[in-house]
Structure 1
């Protein structure tokens, strides 16, 4: 594999930080809702934890394949709220940050003609869009409203 553009490496590092932040958030929220007695929500959050961990592992493998040492530079604190709807809103915000990050990485890779990394980021971007859609449906099932995260621009 040819050497990656330094900005692509930056996108990978930031993505790892965001994915590990999501792991921490979902794991914490699973324990929190379990304390509230909501085992169904705890199970769903644990499933999200695993999916985000798989994304982090893909990023680590990609970074190693490019010859760089994986390092998450800044994890966000886990979000908390007084109810499940509040937790889901926080998760949608984090997913939105991931979606925007991957969309930016895809655009940059297209700009520099890096098809291999573009495809890599596009796969993660698609996964995160699906996560956000699922979380949005879950939130709407609780609140009965349309959230601001329901519609997303694509290119």
Structure 2
């Protein structure tokens, strides 16, 4: 089945964001675990696994619609050892994902691709939850101070 070129582009662009997120959250989980922040490491690892799962679903849809994935477009990961900087990177990536997903949903509605729209809507809900979590963590870090926040994540 041949997919709409715009939808294929959104699938490919979002696949790039998901693969970037997978690597970024996996790195953050490892850095947190190495620092003894096991609670935060577990959460970051769970987000990494979610992004990996999303990537597989996006890739399957892209291939089904006879698209060609541009998997070389995965972004370079910044290595930040400070938890606040990690959370800010996560928040920025998730915000980009949300913007792209909202555009993708509108595009799918316009071209009549209900299956891709549903996939994008499901992932949009996940990204909104992730943004809420990251924003909450940054707010807590600001209110509690770095030392208290980090202690709560041990």
TM-score using structure 1 length: 0.84
The answer to whether 1:29 aligns with 2:33 is no
* SS of aligned partner of 2:84: helix
Query: With CA pairs under 8 Å and 6+ residues apart, which has the higher RCO, 1 or 2?
Result: 2
The answer to whether 1:121 aligns with 2:120 is yes
Q: In structure 1, list runs of 5 or more residues that go unmatched.
A: 146-155
Hey, what's the Cα distance between the residues in 2 that align with 1:82 and 1:73? Answer: 26
* SS of aligned partner of 2:73: coil
The structure carrying a bigger helix percent of its residues is 2
The match for 1:138 is 137
The match for 1:105 is 104
Q: In structure 2, list runs of 5 or more residues that go unmatched.
A: 145-154
Shift of 1:142: 1.5
Contact map agreement 2:108 2:116 (CA 8 A) in 1? yes
Hey, what's the Cα distance between the residues in 2 that align with 1:88 and 1:6? Answer: 34
TM-score using structure 2 length: 0.85
More displaced, 65-74 or 123-132? Answer: 65-74
The runs of 4+ residues in structure 1 deviating greater than 4 Å are: none
RMSD between aligned alpha carbons? 1.7
Hey, what's the Cα distance between the residues in 2 that align with 1:72 and 1:86? Answer: 26
Shift of 1:130: 1.1
For residues 1-155 of structure 1, what are the structure 2 equivalents within 5 Å? Answer: 2-144=1-143
* SS of aligned partner of 2:72: coil
* SS of aligned partner of 1:40: helix
Hey, what's the Cα distance between the residues in 2 that align with 1:89 and 1:29? Answer: 12
